[in-house]
């Protein structure tokens, strides 16, 4: 079960464990011939990734994963084949980056109230020049033995409704899709089944998404079942969306998710790479 295409993964520019060059090398070793890097709310890893792809004779698609708040739910919209220098996109992500910093300070404050001090300094150092994400908090809590797994960090502190959770208003769905489109990219709904929407809500979401100019959906994700692919294919056909495939790879430590370890896109689905 391996795929030549992988259009969703992370580097050290956000919460991935591998630097862009190492990520491309790993994708190459896994048999991927065309990779999109899609870091959370940043394009900072793209230039190095592109250079490495050229060295390896791979195709590279410049991407991003934008954080969105829609109807009080957090959604992720992947942008593929974007022009990272586009001013509208850059301004949009600059706003998301300030939201990330403010949120990180608030999370650290809540943890301090739980007698877990100095976390902001630690996660800032760990993120380096990359985006600060909740994964950085989880890693720190794990390293300092406040929890024994990353999952426990989300279950006890960082997950929605938990003691260090900070409710955040990200970009609107309309803005995120529009930034991607203005940067010449294709907006793709990421990991659609992770939101646990009912059919009714899911139809509402796809109606809004397509009205705003969204054109794609991840039909194949890491660790998805044949049933899930079937379900998502039906939505792709109903809303006339291009199908994407993406592992959402973050780290080699997670042995369940690997670059390019993806089922094939069903034949009746228009592959998003036909656009590139
Ligand atoms: P953020 O965008 O900063 O809220 O961070 C979200 C990131 O944290 C996601 O992209 C995942 O990598 C990770 N994450 C979110 N929820 C969980 C969870 N329950 N367990 C492990 N990792 C998670
Ligand atoms: Mn992530
Ligand atoms: Mn995501
Ligand atoms: Mn992701």
What is the Cα gyration radius of the chain? 18
Closest CA relative to residue 156, chosen from 126, 127, 116: 116
Q: Please tell me the distance from the alpha carbon of residue 28 to that of residue 52, in angstroms, as a whole number.
A: 10
Q: Please tell me the distance from the alpha carbon of residue 170 to that of residue 43, in angstroms, as a whole number.
A: 17
pTM reported for the whole predicted model: 0.98
Q: Is 14 in the pocket of ligand 1 (CB under 6 A)?
A: no
Contact between residue 245 and residue 218 where contact means Cβ atoms under 8 Å apart? yes
pLDDT at 88: 98
Q: Which residues in the chain show pLDDT less than 50?
A: none
pLDDT tens string 17-26: 999 999 999 9
Residue 153 CA, ligand 4 centroid: distance in Å: 18
Closest ligand 1 atom to 150 CA: 21
pLDDT at 3: 87
Question: What phi and psi, each to the nearest 5 degrees, are found at residue 139?
Answer: -60, -40
Atom 20 of ligand 1, nearest CA residue: 151
pLDDT at 1: 76
Question: What phi and psi, each to the nearest 5 degrees, are found at residue 249?
Answer: -60, 135
pLDDT at 124: 98
Residue 159 CA, ligand 1 centroid: distance in Å: 8
The mean pLDDT of the chain is: 98
The pair of three-digit structure tokens given for residue 3, joined into one six-digit string: 């795929």
Residue 29 CA, ligand 4 centroid: distance in Å: 21
pLDDT at 270: 98
Atom 14 of ligand 1, nearest CA residue: 135
Could you give the C-alpha distances from 272 to 18, 95, 156, 174, 216, in angstroms and in order? 26, 28, 38, 21, 7
Could you give the C-alpha distances from 5 to 23, 60, 94, 150, 272, in angstroms and in order? 14, 10, 29, 28, 10
The 3-state secondary structure of 94-160 reads HHHHHHHHHHHHHHHHHHHHCCCCCHHHHHHHHHCCCCCCHHHHHHHHHHCCCCCCHHHHHHHHHCC
């Amino acid at each position: 079960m391996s795929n030549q295409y992988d259009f969703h993964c992370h580097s050290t520019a956000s919460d991935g464990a591998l630097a862009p060059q190492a990520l491309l090398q790993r994708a190459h070793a896994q048999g991927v011939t065309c990779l999109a890097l899609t870091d959370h709310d940043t394009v900072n890893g793209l230039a190095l990734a592109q250079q490495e792809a050229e060295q390896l004779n791979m195709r590279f698609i410049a991407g991003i994963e934008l954080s969105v708040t829609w109807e009080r739910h957090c959604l992720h919209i992947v942008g593929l084949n974007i022009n990272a220098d586009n001013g509208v996109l850059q301004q949009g992500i600059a706003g998301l980056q300030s939201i990330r910093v403010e949120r990180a300070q608030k999370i650290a404050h809540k943890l301090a109230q739980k007698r877990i001090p100095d976390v902001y300094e630690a996660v800032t150092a760990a993120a380096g020049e990359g985006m600060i994400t909740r994964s950085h908090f989880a890693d720190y809590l794990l390293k300092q033995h406040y929890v024994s797994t990353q999952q426990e960090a989300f279950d006890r502190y960082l997950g929605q409704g938990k003691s260090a959770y900070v409710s955040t208003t990200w970009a609107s769905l309309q803005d995120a899709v529009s930034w991607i489109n203005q940067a010449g990219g294709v907006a793709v709904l990421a990991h659609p089944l992770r939101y646990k929407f009912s059919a009714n809500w899911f139809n509402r979401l796809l109606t809004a998404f397509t009205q705003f100019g969204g054109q794609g959906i991840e039909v194949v994700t890491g660790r998805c079942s044949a049933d899930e692919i079937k379900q998502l294919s039906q939505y792709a056909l109903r809303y006339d969306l291009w199908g994407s495939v993406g592992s959402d790879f973050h780290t080699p430590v997670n042995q369940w998710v690997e670059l390019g370890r993806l089922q094939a896109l069903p034949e009746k689905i228009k592959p998003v790479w036909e656009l590139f």
